[in-house]
Amino acid sequence: MASQREISNLNKAQILVTALPYIQKYAGKTIVIKYGGNAMVSDELKDAVMTDIVLLSLVGINVVLVHGGGPEINEMLHKIGKESKFINGLRYTDAETMDIVQMVLAGKVNKSLVQLLCNHGGKAIGLCGLDGCLITAMKQGGKEDLGYVGSISEVNVKIVNDVMKDGYIPVISTVANGEDGEVYNINADIAASRIASELGAEKLILMTDIAGLLRDKDDESTLIPVVQVSQVISLKRDGIISGGMIPKIDCCVEAVRRGVNRAHIIDGRIPHSILIEILSDEGIGTMFL
């Protein structure tokens, strides 16, 4: 592989030029990125993601960043000596935990991303589901009581559109205003999918720590680059979509069904995976349409 030094000015210009049709295609469109996994842990990857987002924003693409924050929440719970109670493998979120979740997501992870974008030359604003009544939730149903885990009852994207119109990159934590006045924690993939569809986004991109949907989960060379949402049912039946992939792919399917043009599961471990996905003719990961 060539080192960057060896790349001529002409080559550099030609590479910029190959991005042209993609910029033309996506200018003025909205792309919702669910940010999480390794790309949020490694400082280097984080830096690359921030750079990508600022660049996309500069060339006229509206980027909305929805983030999670599991590791930071765990770390904080650990610090206060809180032991988590698990029910069928799902963490029970009591009031104290919910407090920590809100603080860590909306106060730490969110605002630190805003700061990072700012320091990369971007103009960002940190929102959560409480701001401008963005996300309203109710207690999630089901057999087991999981405490303050919510399911979305309404998404009102007016505040997101308002701040985008003023040129800000919205960074969103997915804690929500309960219909009962409490705060609920919302799964970030699901929230990103709903926000994307309410915004009429062009794309939903879920950043993960896998290469994409693999026919053989142990062999990255079996990556399935494109999936029609109508094929998902048989891919599940055949066990190709299984385990932790199921909820993520359901979010993609849901987004496409609600009008998002394309949904992607991309490999967040690759530096600049967002830029490569959006501005080059080489897709990364699996695209749902």
Taking CB under 8 A as the binding criterion, the range among 198-206, 208-216, 217-225, 267-275 that sits at the site for its own copies is 267-275
Taking CB under 8 A as the binding criterion, the range among 50-58, 205-213, 220-228, 261-269 that sits at the site for its own copies is 50-58
**Per CB under 8 A, does 55 bind its own copies?**
yes
Asked if residue 35 lies in contact with residue 66, where contact means CB atoms within 8 angstroms, the answer is: yes
Taking CB under 8 A as the binding criterion, the range among 20-28, 203-211, 222-230, 238-246 that sits at the site for its own copies is 20-28
Nearer to its own copies, 107 or 247 (CB): 107
**Per CB under 8 A, does 14 bind its own copies?**
yes
Q: What is the residue type of 231?
A: Q
Which residues in 63-82 contact its own copies (CB under 8 A)?
Answer: 76, 79-81
> What is the C-alpha separation between 234 and 212, in angstroms, rounded?
17
Nearest CA among 64, 59, 58 for reference residue 34: 64
Q: Which residues contact 288 (CB under 8 A, 6 or more apart)?
A: 227, 228, 229, 232, 249, 252, 253, 256, 262, 263, 264, 265
Nearer to its own copies, 159 or 229 (CB): 159
Asked if residue 260 lies in contact with residue 197, where contact means CB atoms within 8 angstroms, the answer is: yes
Choose, by CB under 8 A, the member of 41, 58, 226, 289 that binds its own copies: 58
**DSSP 8-state assignment for residue 85:** P
**Per CB under 8 A, does 27 bind its own copies?**
yes
The CB-of-229 to its own copies minimum distance in angstroms stands at 27
> What is the C-alpha separation between 101 and 98, in angstroms, rounded?
5
Q: Which two tokens stand for residue 230?
A: 């109508």
**For the window 178-207, what string marks contact with its own copies as x by the rule CB under 8 A?**
---x-x------------------------
The CB-of-89 to its own copies minimum distance in angstroms stands at 27
The CB-of-134 to its own copies minimum distance in angstroms stands at 9
Q: Is 90 left (phi over 0), alpha (psi -120 to 50) or beta?
A: beta
Asked if residue 245 lies in contact with residue 209, where contact means CB atoms within 8 angstroms, the answer is: no
Nearer to its own copies, 101 or 227 (CB): 101
> What is the C-alpha separation between 93 and 257, in angstroms, rounded?
31
**Per CB under 8 A, does 175 bind its own copies?**
yes
Which residues in 86-145 contact its own copies (CB under 8 A)?
Answer: 99, 102-108, 110-112, 114-115, 118-119, 121, 123-128, 130-133
The total of other beta-carbon atoms located within 10 Å of residue 164's CB is: 19
